[in-house]
Structure 1
Amino acid sequence: TVHMRDIRKLDKMFSTSNEPSITVRQQAILVNCDPVRAVIMRDCCFVFLPDGTDSLIAHLKSNFKLHIADASAFEFAYNHTIYALEAILATICCIFSTQCKQVIPLGRSALEKMTKDESMSELESLRSIKNSMSVLESQLGGMRRLLMTLLENEADLHMMYLTKLCENPKLAQDLFCIDTEDVESILELYLQEIYSSQTRVALMAQNIVNTESIVMLKLDSKRNFLLSVDLSLTLLGTLIAMPTFIVGAFGMNLNSHIQDTEYVFWVVFALCGLFILVGYVVVVKYLKQQGINMSWTY
């Protein structure tokens, strides 16, 4: 039987997590796979869709009609509850496939732009796409875990045959006499489809992460180059300021009569230039020994 707490779980307000789930009860299957929520019974199926998802109605109708036709053609292999569940799973897979077709080309286009333009604006755009892919990959991962858990739950697989259990209640006492090969094959089919979509998204997300790392390395290299240039200019400015201060202080405030001596100007000028050159070479050599490269080559 279906309890009120099972119905409440189909509502986002009462759900503790957004993890997809398929709950099997006596004569009912509850599907909670955002944005599709449904209660499947042996003679009817109630589907609940959130606002703004009117486009899913056409997909659900076409999938129900398609699987009803399959059920009529293979009536021994299917029953109403199984084809209803299959129609819902097909719709969910269609949603994920559409999202993959939308986000993967965007990621590929962003990667191509990053190879030509390494600006921060393109990097932010790439991060936005990566976040969208992470959300989609998380949803696909949740759906995959759901199907794998359901395949491992033998009791739930047997209880999915609501029509058989209603027509022959004695089967409930020995569920394992029901052959579940049909529902297992259906779940495995959609598990493969979900895994395929998840792999595509994961590969593109990994490519984005790798590209982002390479771009960050290039930006770090540019930053280090600019820091090296800044350090070199700062060092030159400091070395020039020191003799300038000394010469200015002595030349303007002390009358030493040195200025009357011939060639003194050129001697002082040469000493100042030599101090700057030797000081720069010594500092650069010391920094290089410490592992700091002052080269201007990029």
Structure 2
Amino acid sequence: MVVNLEFIKAIVTAEEVLLLDPLRQEVLPFVDQLRQQLPHKSPFRMHGASPLDAQENEMHFSTGGQWLPVPDSEGLQNELPFEFQVLEIALEVVCTYLDTNVAELERDAYPVLDELARNVSTKNLEHVRSLKSNLTRLLARVQKVRDELEHLLDDNEDMADLYLTRKWIQNQQNEALLGAAASNGLITPAPYLPRLSSHRSVSLATSNFVVDDDDVEDLEMLLEAYFMQLDGTRNKILSVREYIDDTEDYVNIQLDNQRNELIQLQLTLTIASFAIAVETLIAGLFGMNIPCPLYEVHGVFNPFVGCVTAGCILLFLLVLGYARWKKLLGS
């Protein structure tokens, strides 16, 4: 079985684990967990013992060809096979690592987003851009592991192929049966076997028991547990991304509001410029060297300028009122 989860890359057999780059900083917790939860067990085959003695340490069989279970400690049947224990530790380490990264992302994200909502600046926008990049990469990593587990859960044949201990014990029993049958001059079919635990000393029940090679309940429960955990981690990331989207929407609303205020100010200044332009036009007309009876009237300048200015102000108010009536300007 090949395990390729994030930084954990290993080959797992029914008896051992071959780990790539075990001294890597991220892999060290996985190695420590293996040492703590899977302590070295003494092998069944003793040094100098014959293969027959080793088989007798694992099982006893009668001349009738029926397998009798070896006495074992309580609760041994409920223990996961060796390869699933390694897989569980790998999933636990990877899920913990991803949860830690998500927690750091949440801790960094919310203050930055709140600061951006209060003050839209280039510095804050750059922080949010970097935050979104980290979030996208982290979401892709979580989604990749989640999809792998989902693919396994959807295919019972793939899960059945991962039962390495079951296959190993079946091969051992078949070889022992063939050897016993050959020694007795009998050819008997290999019996069906019940589900077995990872301990080699366990089991070998009678041929009356039937094993279902498609029974993957243990592995399915294991994968579903970590699938739900990864799904929760993914939901946390999606919540942060949703908060980022909400903050961006809020910032865009703020910018749109400021843009609308600038447009209204520009429209007001344009109306004022139009009114001043009318007064400037009148002043320009009277500034030409064209004979006019008003030039001969004494003291008409100030009243005339006042009337023209008042008319331009009235024109400004009329156009401004029209713009408000058309809702081109805010109330």
Structure 1 length as normaliser, TM-score? 0.77
Specify the alignment match of 1:38 in structure 2.
10
CA contact (8 A) 1:239 1:279 kept: yes
Counterpart CA distance in 1 for 2:225 and 2:244 is 29
Letter in 2 for 1:145: D
Shift in Å, 1:85: 1.3
Q: CA deviation at 1:143?
A: 2.1
Deviates further, 175-184 or 161-170: 175-184
**1:1-298 equivalence runs, <5 A:** 29-48=1-20, 54-68=24-38, 75-76=76-77, 77-169=79-171, 176-177=212-213, 179-293=215-329
**Any unmatched runs of 5+ in structure 1?**
1-28
Q: Which has the larger radius of gyration?
A: 2
Structure with greater contact order relative to length (CA < 8 Å, sep ≥ 6): 2
Q: Which runs of no fewer than 5 residues in structure 2 stay unpaired?
A: 43-72, 172-189, 194-209
For residue 121 of structure 2, what is the amino acid of its counterpart? Answer: S
Helix, strand or coil at the partner of 1:39: strand
Decide whether aligned partners of structure 1 residues 214 and 175 sit closer, same or farther in structure 2, where only a CA change above 3 A counts. Answer: farther
Q: Deviations over 1:224-266 (max 9, x none)?
A: 1122112212321232023213312422432324233144323
Instruction: Please state which structure has a larger fraction of its residues in helix.
Output: 1
* TM-aligned CA deviation for residue 196 of structure 1: 1.8
Code of the residue aligned with 1:54 in structure 2: it is: R
Q: Secondary structure at the match of 1:37?
A: strand
Task: State the percentage of identical aligned residues.
Answer: 22
Greater CA drift, 184-193 or 245-254: 245-254
SS class of match (1:167): helix
| Distance in 1, Cα, partners of 2:231 & 2:330 | 51
Instruction: State whether residues 123 and 212 of structure 1, in contact with CA within 8 Å, keep that contact through their aligned partners in structure 2.
Output: no
Q: What's the offset of the Cα at 1:190? A: 1.1
Task: Provide the rounded CA distance (Å) in 2 between the counterparts of 1:190 and 1:178.
Answer: 21
Taking only aligned residues, the RMSD between alpha carbons, in angstroms, comes to 3.0
In 2, Cα distance between equivalents of 1:253 and 1:39: 103
In 2, distance between residues paired with 1:60 and 1:213?
42
How far does residue 194 in structure 1 lie from its aligned partner after superposition? 0.9
Aligned residues: 264
